[in-house]
A and B are shown apart, each in its own frame.
Chain A
Amino acid sequence: MEYVSPEGLRLDGRRPMEMRQLRAEIGTVAKANGSAVFEMGNTKVIAAVYGPREVQNRSQQINDQALVRCEYSMANFSTGDRMRKPKGDRRSTEISLVIRQTMEACILTHLMPRSQIDIFVQVLQADGGTRSACINAATLALADAGIPMRDIVTSCSAGYLNSTPLLDLNYIEDSAGGPDVTVGILPKLDKVTLLQMDAKLPVDIFETVMGLAIEGCKAIANYIREVLLENTKQLEYRRGL
């Protein structure tokens, strides 16, 4: 199948190095300590953060740092064919683990000893790149909850189809079976915290694909910072003197 037309356009009309439209909203779950909705094109994810709070299961308590937990789920209505998936299937446990590890790397857990932070992410609309969207939403929610972090984590995916590197794959491109590189970076520290690929690629091509994904991450980081700054300013001026 042809994923990039001779004119250099993808199936949804984007250029190979073009990202989908981003939209973020903070404070969508009233009862949570921090929450956000993050959209990348048709992919839409909601995240809620509770904590730092008292550890629920005392045996899991860590004496010198906070316990970070993460739960990923996909709404039944999120995909094209409505499927009743059992909770805790292999895919969602794996993504929960990935998100937990990525977020744990940036939270300053040693500042909140013997407490627990819960991150809940749910996919409301799935159109490829849910993993990246979840990480971006979780970052926003953590920042909204006022949890100290080394840096914001942003994530973006890139692929390689029809011998062209493509940024931010959607569902059709994702299910083409080509390589799909998901990268998560700390933009300020310039470090990679997440790198996943379930296919084979020659090293030189892999490097260009990964470089493209990192560019995407940086663009998302800029957007997220704008949203956060606007939110902070609004909270401050509304509170008044």
Chain B
Amino acid sequence: MRGLQLPLSQTQRIRLQRALEKLQSLSCKANSDASVTVADTIPVNYEDALLKGHGTTDLNGDLVATVCGVVERINKLVYVRALRARYKPEVGDIVVGRVVEVSQKRWRLEINFSLDAILMLSSMNMPDGIQRRRTALDELNMRGIFEENDVVCAEVRNFQHDGSLQLQARSQKYGKLEKGQLLIVDPYLVKKSKQHFHHLEQFGIDLVLGRNGFIWVGEHVEARDSMVVDQANSSEQSMVPEEKNKTHTPLEMRQNICRIANAVRVLSTLGFSIDADLILETVELSSTVKIDIHDMLGSEFHVLVAEREAERRSLVGKRKR
């Protein structure tokens, strides 16, 4: 019963309720009894061999859920997919994080996991592209690459044997994110897909949907590597990107960033899954109804988005049938 904390007028409340009811009727045909809460017994067939997955435990021979969520069955495996929870990393996921600490040969990143993630200096591509050992000089110049509070995009590399998480950034597309906004949504809303980097050409904006629920909306940059300062070279060359950073972001670009960011905020407060198409549709809706950027977070636009989403899902449902 997660209530929207919005001031709704009488008609808006009814419209929103109707839209949400429509959404409910569309989805509950598929699996209405799959939702469980903590300590619910999960009905399973004990004749078959059975693998207990995440979110389940054994209690006197019964399979019992330990989190609230949806029961998923894949062959023998039975697990509970938790909805609202912190991020559970999987190897290969693309994440966005914030640097909390620069320490010996590594950066510590906050990525909404139960521990801070570690990005080793050695798992970064060197800006000059040469494969070589990282020297002590490289280590001293680590703050030239990322500083505390920088927003960084990387890929999950592996879990260490002690449970800590390692990241890597061995490609041009990873690295520091600048000139934009970081939005934090619930990780279950971001689906795994083939593409997590989106270049929205009509706006000239980069959209990075981190699997950990960190979403980056920022100005489009051509090659990310140009931002990373060349470590081996002397300091006058490292001044060049500094100057480049000072270039002005035009007002229109900043408005576009805000519009897209507000679209993401609306989708996340309504609890709709977030992908690039849906964000773009929401942005288009906001420009067709000619709503101001700052009014996008008001109740009227929330209701509009909910109604539009209900319509869209019912259309998708019909097409499938």
Do A and B interact?
yes
Q: What residues of chain A have their CB less than 8 Å away from a CB belonging to chain B?
A: 24-27, 30, 33-34, 51-54, 66, 108, 112-115, 143-152, 187-189, 225, 227-241
Give bound CA distance, A159 to B2, whole Å.
34
Q: Tell me if B209 is interfacial: C-beta within 8 Å of chain A.
A: no
Residue numbers in B under 8 Å from A227 (CB-CB): 1
Residue numbers in A under 8 Å from B24 (CB-CB): 234, 237
Q: Tell me if B86 is interfacial: C-beta within 8 Å of chain A.
A: yes
Evaluate contact between A53 and B271: CB separation under 8 angstroms.
Answer: no
Nearest opposing residue in chain B for A241, CB measure: B27
Give bound CA distance, A196 to B254, whole Å.
59
Evaluate contact between B35 and A146: CB separation under 8 angstroms.
Answer: no
Partner of B86, one of A33, A236, A240: A33
Evaluate contact between B1 and A230: CB separation under 8 angstroms.
Answer: yes
Evaluate contact between A238 and B270: CB separation under 8 angstroms.
Answer: yes
Q: Tell me if B68 is interfacial: C-beta within 8 Å of chain A.
A: yes
Partner of B70, one of A146, A225, A231, A236: A236
Evaluate contact between A53 and B114: CB separation under 8 angstroms.
Answer: yes
Residue numbers in B under 8 Å from A113 (CB-CB): 163
Residue numbers in B under 8 Å from A151 (CB-CB): 38-39
Q: Tell me if B181 is interfacial: C-beta within 8 Å of chain A.
A: no
| Minimum distance in angstroms from A174 CB to a CB of chain B | 29
Other A-B pairs, 6, CB within 8 Å; known A53-B114, A189-B59: A33-B85, A147-B67, A228-B38, A232-B69, A234-B271, A236-B27
Q: Give B54-103 interface residues, CB cut-off 8 Å to A.
A: 55, 57, 59, 64, 66-70, 82-86
| Minimum distance in angstroms from A75 CB to a CB of chain B | 19
Residue numbers in A under 8 Å from B64 (CB-CB): 188
Residue numbers in B under 8 Å from A187 (CB-CB): 39
Evaluate contact between A51 and B27: CB separation under 8 angstroms.
Answer: no
A-B CB contact pairs (8 Å), 30 listed = A24-B1, A25-B3, A26-B2, A33-B84, A52-B86, A53-B114, A54-B116, A108-B57, A112-B114, A114-B115, A143-B68, A144-B68, A144-B84, A145-B85, A146-B82, A146-B85, A146-B86, A147-B85, A148-B55, A149-B39, A188-B64, A189-B59, A225-B37, A232-B36, A234-B2, A235-B2, A236-B27, A238-B20, A239-B83, A241-B313
Secondary structure at the B interface, as helix, strand, loop or mixed, is loop
Residue numbers in B under 8 Å from A229 (CB-CB): 35-37, 68
Give bound CA distance, A189 to B41, whole Å.
12
Q: A26-B2, A27-B3, A54-B115 are in contact. Are A240 and B163 (CB under 8 A)?
A: no
Residue numbers in A under 8 Å from B37 (CB-CB): 143, 152, 225, 228-229, 232
Q: Tell me if B301 is interfacial: C-beta within 8 Å of chain A.
A: no
Most buried by B among A33, A113, A239: A239
Q: Tell me if B272 is interfacial: C-beta within 8 Å of chain A.
A: yes
Give bound CA distance, A240 to B85, whole Å.
17
Q: Tell me if B145 is interfacial: C-beta within 8 Å of chain A.
A: no
Give bound CA distance, A187 to B39, whole Å.
9
Nearest opposing residue in chain A for B164, CB measure: A114
Q: Tell me if B188 is interfacial: C-beta within 8 Å of chain A.
A: yes
Partner of A237, one of B27, B36, B116: B27
Give bound CA distance, A235 to B70, whole Å.
10
Q: Tell me if B239 is interfacial: C-beta within 8 Å of chain A.
A: no
Partner of A239, one of B3, B35, B59, B272: B272
| Minimum distance in angstroms from A210 CB to a CB of chain B | 22
Give bound CA distance, A145 to B66, whole Å.
12
Give the top 7 A-B pairs by smallest Cβ distance, nearest first. A146-B85, A52-B114, A27-B2, A238-B271, A115-B114, A148-B66, A237-B27
One digit per residue, 1 when the CB lies within 8 angstroms of any chain A CB and 0 when it does not, for chain B 162-193 equals 01000000000000000000000000110000
Residue numbers in A under 8 Å from B2 (CB-CB): 26-27, 231, 234-235
| Minimum distance in angstroms from A103 CB to a CB of chain B | 13
Nearest opposing residue in chain B for A230, CB measure: B1
Residue numbers in A under 8 Å from B23 (CB-CB): 237-238, 240
Residue numbers in B under 8 Å from A30 (CB-CB): 5
Partner of A188, one of B32, B59, B116: B59
Q: A53-B114, A54-B116 are in contact. Are A235 and B271 (CB under 8 A)?
A: yes
Evaluate contact between A34 and B114: CB separation under 8 angstroms.
Answer: no
Evaluate contact between A239 and B271: CB separation under 8 angstroms.
Answer: yes
One digit per residue, 1 when the CB lies within 8 angstroms of any chain A CB and 0 when it does not, for chain B 296-314 equals 0000000000000100010
Partner of B39, one of A53, A152, A231, A235: A152
Residue numbers in A under 8 Å from B82 (CB-CB): 146
Give bound CA distance, A144 to B2, whole Å.
10
Evaluate contact between B57 and A231: CB separation under 8 angstroms.
Answer: no
| Minimum distance in angstroms from B111 CB to a CB of chain A | 10
| Minimum distance in angstroms from A88 CB to a CB of chain B | 28
Q: Give B1-50 interface residues, CB cut-off 8 Å to A.
A: 1-3, 5, 20, 23-24, 26-28, 30, 32, 35-40
Evaluate contact between A25 and B1: CB separation under 8 angstroms.
Answer: yes
